[in-house]
Each structure stands twice: as structure tokens, then as C-alpha cells.
Structure 1
Amino acid sequence: MPRPQSRPFRQGASQFSFQENLVFEKTYYATHPDMMDGVSNEELRDRYLVGGLFRDGEIVLTYSHGERFIIGGAVPGASILPLPVQTEPDSAAGHSLLERRELSVVNIGRAVGVVTVDGERHELASRDALYVPMGSGTVTFEGEGARFYLLSVPAHRAFPLRRLTLADATPMERGSLETSNARQIYQLILPHVCQSASLCLGMTILEPGSVWNTMPPHVHERRSEIYLYFDLEGDDRVFHYMGKPEALRHIVMENEEAVISPPWSVHMGSGTRAYSFIWAMAGENLDYNDMDVKDICQLR
């Protein structure tokens, strides 16, 4: 049976409705590392690459069975886009998508955007983030030139809503220009900055002349991770490395594409120029340092 496609929602004067039902563009299933053996490049991309999230006038949502992540994008343009409601298991009425979930919103566009949560407006400049707690009801997105990156995971309790800027996080200086990996790491949704039930999120910005990220590479068996690469020009690419440390594979990625890293997989990348990326984790704990670091000589 063909998979149902997501329905674009475009705001018009007589079209506004908070009852736009939830439809996922694509579902990504959890995988065992043995499934990497013999997988073609196209199969690898199909299982882990999340593309096409940012389409004008639409909200696009995908679903990953790894930590039950919802990965999405919203590009309002001249519209006001509502976060869809879910009708399952009770098809007679819509329920807030955040009834038992928390949500992060990051504006990766160049213009200011507005996220309205239960009637309260929050302006997000470029690279600002918003943590939206479990139990929130209606959420809408607006702003020409804004591009909202959305990540949601299940939650067990509600924490305060919080708007976050890069100034709220003391940057961690890592790497050097000599090794082509000088970068600043901004921890945004972590306990010492912003409380959450399960979601951890931050942004890494590479210095001009640097191209390598996440060095040294690592895995964390108790959490899954999502990377979104952005600030790339049209012809630039990032070579994202994944897989078991002794059997690496790579996926070639374009601007504003995300990639899923299972708990058993290394995650690191190198680009054709400096870029930025948003990293998000969910799992058993909120410990940023819970990682099994791999020496570069261990990789094969």
C-alpha cells in the first residue's frame, strides 16, 4: 500500500484551522548495526538522511522510532502555520501534539520569526531557540524569512517554557585552526541552562577555515542523536560519517538536511567549508558528557 503523503498547509484568510491533522512525511525505523553490512548508498540515505524539511508555506514532520523523535521544519512565509493536532487513538477529536511531548524550536532563517504558544507570542531572531513544555496546546509559526527547525520527544513532566539565545550559553571553545576543527559549542537545552524532561540540544559553529566537527568522535549507547547541518552555500556539502567505529560509512549531505545517529553509531563530519549544525539528543539521561570517545586511530 502506498505511504500517505503529508498535506501542505497554506494559510489563507478563510482557511485558518487548528484542526489540521497530523501526517508524517516519513517514518524512520530503528536499525541494528548488522543491517549496515552490504547496504547501498541509497539505502543508507533512505534509512538515516532526513531531507526536504523546509518547504515554503508548509510544516513538514517526520517520525523516528529512535527515542520517538519527531523531526520537522516550518517555513511560514506570508502564512501562519499551526502545529498539527493528532487524532489517534480517538479519531473523533484532535489532541495537542504536545499532550505528552516537549518541543524545541530553532530559527535557522535570517529574519525574525514568531512562535505563539497558547496565545503568548515569542519572537525568535536568527539562531534563537524556544523550549516548549509538555502539555502546551496550540502552537503557531509566522514570519517571512524565518525557518523553524522542530524537534520533539516524549516527556514525563512539564518544565517552564524558555526562550534561549546564544548569549544564554557560555560557548565551549574546542579544536584549533591547525587541525581544521576550531569551533564554538553552545549548550542550549541542558540542565544547567534550560531544564527538560529528555531533550538535549545545542548548536556548534565552526570558525572560518575549519571543516571538521565532533572531534574526537564518539558514541553514546544510552541516547540517540540528530544532526542538522546548515549555513552551507548551494554547492557545498558535508560528508557525515556514521556506523560502528571499525566499519565507518558516510552520507553526503546538503544544506539544511538532518541525519539520524543510532546509539551504536559514531557521528562526525567534514565539509567543503565552515558551517553550523544543531545537535539534539534524547534517551536515558541528560548528561552531556555521557559518551564513549574513540581515538581517531580506532576508526576503520
Structure 2
Amino acid sequence: MKVNYNSNPKDSKSYDTSRLREEYLTDSMFIEDEIVSVYSHIDRIVVLGVSPTTSSLTLEDHIDSATFGVDYFLQRREFGVVNVGGRAQVKTATGTYTINHLDGLYLGMGTQELEFSSLDADCPALLYCISAPAHHTYPSRVVKREETNLIQLGDSTNANERVIRQYLHPDILPTCQLSMGVTSLSESSVWNTMPAHTHERRMEAYFYFDIKPQQVVFHFMGEPTETRHVVLRNHQMILSPSWSIHSGCGTQNYSFIWGMLGENQTFDDMDFVDMDAIK
């Protein structure tokens, strides 16, 4: 398990490219027949990439629960999944869930014996997962892509026409603090989340996908008056502390999964940055 520590914005100002990537970026969230796991001290988020092919993967075989001081991983945590690959099956001690491409899944606190498998080895599942500390058990359920909240934002004039699908959101289902969704940019649009914002009450993680070969996304981060950029490629994830902006511009259109943990789940609780103030 990769461990990331929290950082002070005053220190982050001095980071060079290598240090920025070391502190915030995970180069690849998917390794065949492995579970990639990242634990960050920023709100104690755990991000996982699960890539089963011909055999299933059991969560407890890849994560040592003793690291978290519990008997099993989700004893005091909740769990969200979005599938960016082929059809998948997720088994638990109390139920079995089938999730298609771009379907989501929520597993409540107390869920045990997680096992992940692909239903077609020629088109394996790619399960992007986020886990957050929890205080209450809410019902587990699949969230179909067509069941998500659909929000259309931006326009072609500003090259930021995009569709947001809210999966784990109070209007869809209750969670303790975890929110997840997918943003997809229209053809010829390249900007996301600009004008930029921060939200002091929530951190965020971005996972970029549908980035075509030989294309990249320039992800912008840092305090509004001390911005930095990190170049991201397909299936890479970057953490965003609550004090940092989180915006991107691609060489072509792309998609990303956003996941948030923190004090509230209000989608528009943002501290917007005036375009004249950003540096």
C-alpha cells in the first residue's frame, strides 16, 4: 500500500515536478490481477484500483486490516466503486452485485469478505474504488449509469462543455461522507472546473480515464495565487487537499472520476476563485 501524508501549502510552494508527483500522484491505478491501494492522511481516504482477469481478487488478501487497527477493512469504513472496464461481479458476505461499464456500487460500513471478478476475461473489469471513514451503516446498492443525476455544464465557446453524473450523492442514496461522480468532456472541449475553486470543508481525488494514447491532461493544483501543474495520463490518480484548486486542461477531451470526503456533501459548496485573482 502506498502511503501519502498531508502537506502544508507553504511547503508545497517549493516542490519541484518530481516532488509534486511523489506527494500527490499515483502513476497507474490498474495492474493486471492486482489491487493497487493508496492511503492518504488527507481525511484518511483510501483509493483502490482493482483489475481482476481470469481469477477473482479478495480485498483482505491485499490489504492488512491491522494497518487500520480493525478486524476487517470496512469495519469502520464505507466503500464506493465505479467500473471503467468490462462487466464485473462483486461478492460480499451478504450479497452479490453485478456492475456493468460505468455503473457504480456503494457498500455500507460493516461489509465483509469482498471479492472482485471479471465476467469476461477478454474484456476485464477495471474497478476504481474509494473508501472513507464512516460512523453509520447505510444500505449497499448498485447505482446504474442511467440512474445517476445528470448535470450539463459549460459551452463550446469556453471549451468546457461537459456532462457530470453524480453516483454517490444525497439525491441518489445516503452515505456518511463519501461522494463520487464522473465528468466527461464533449468533443473539442478540454477544460474542466475553470474558473477554479477550492472547498475548505472537503478534499478531493481525481482519476483520469478515456485519455487517448499520445494525449495528456495538465492538472492544475496549489493555492489560487500559487498554482502548479502536473501532467497526467490515462488511469492516473491525483489527490487534492482542501486548500488546493483542482482543474485540468487536456490536449483532447477526456473523462475523470471525482471523489470527495469531508464535512458535508453539498455539491455547490465551493469557494470560487476570480479569474483576475488566480496566478
Tell me the TM-score normalized by structure 1.
Answer: 0.88
Q: CA deviation at 1:102?
A: 0.3
Q: Which of 120, 128, 131 is equivalent to 2:106?
A: 131
- The residue identity in structure 2 corresponding to 1:88 is A
User: Separation in 2 of the partners of 1:76 and 1:59?
Assistant: 8
- Listed one character per residue, the Cα deviations across residues 123-152 of structure 1 (whole Å, up to 9, x for unaligned) are 111111100000001111100311000110
- The residue identity in structure 1 corresponding to 2:47 is I
- Identity, % of aligned positions: 37
Does residue 216 (structure 1) correspond to residue 195 (structure 2)? The answer is yes
- Listed one character per residue, the Cα deviations across residues 201-230 of structure 1 (whole Å, up to 9, x for unaligned) are 111111111110112210001111000000
- The residue identity in structure 2 corresponding to 1:162 is R
Does the 8 Å contact 1:86/1:95 carry over to 2? Answer: no
Q: CA deviation at 1:235?
A: 1.1
Q: CA deviation at 1:55?
A: 0.3
User: Separation in 2 of the partners of 1:135 and 1:51?
Assistant: 30
Partner of residue 293, structure 1: 272
Partner of residue 172, structure 2: 193
Partner of residue 56, structure 1: 32
Partner of residue 83, structure 1: 59
Partner of residue 43, structure 2: 67
Range with bigger deviation, 158-167 or 61-70? 158-167
Does residue 252 (structure 1) correspond to residue 231 (structure 2)? The answer is yes
Instruction: Give the greater-gyration-radius structure (CA).
Output: 1
Structure 1 stretches lacking a partner, 5+ long = 1-23
Q: How many residues are treated as equivalent by the alignment?
A: 273
Residue 45 of structure 1 aligns to a residue in which SS? helix
Where does structure 1 differ by over 6 angstroms across 4 or more consecutive aligned residues?
none
Q: CA deviation at 1:261?
A: 0.5
User: Separation in 2 of the partners of 1:219 and 1:241?
Assistant: 12
- Listed one character per residue, the Cα deviations across residues 100-137 of structure 1 (whole Å, up to 9, x for unaligned) are 0000111111x211111225221111111100000001
- Listed one character per residue, the Cα deviations across residues 149-204 of structure 1 (whole Å, up to 9, x for unaligned) are 01101000011111112211231110011111000111111111111001011111
Q: CA deviation at 1:297?
A: 2.1
User: Separation in 1 of the partners of 2:67 and 2:35?
Assistant: 22
Q: Which of 189, 204, 214 is equivalent to 1:235?
A: 214
Counterparts in 2 of 1:174 and 1:87: CA distance versus 1, 3 Å: closer
Q: CA deviation at 1:287?
A: 1.2
Does residue 178 (structure 1) correspond to residue 157 (structure 2)? The answer is yes
User: Separation in 1 of the partners of 2:199 and 2:13?
Assistant: 21
Counterparts in 2 of 1:298 and 1:134: CA distance versus 1, 3 Å: same
User: Separation in 1 of the partners of 2:102 and 2:159?
Assistant: 23
Does the 8 Å contact 1:236/1:273 carry over to 2? Answer: yes
Residue 188 of structure 1 aligns to a residue in which SS? strand
Q: CA deviation at 1:28?
A: 0.4
- The residue identity in structure 2 corresponding to 1:57 is D
Does the 8 Å contact 2:149/2:172 carry over to 1? Answer: no
Counterparts in 2 of 1:89 and 1:75: CA distance versus 1, 3 Å: closer
Does the 8 Å contact 1:240/1:251 carry over to 2? Answer: yes
Residue 11 of structure 2 aligns to a residue in which SS? helix
Partner of residue 21, structure 1: none
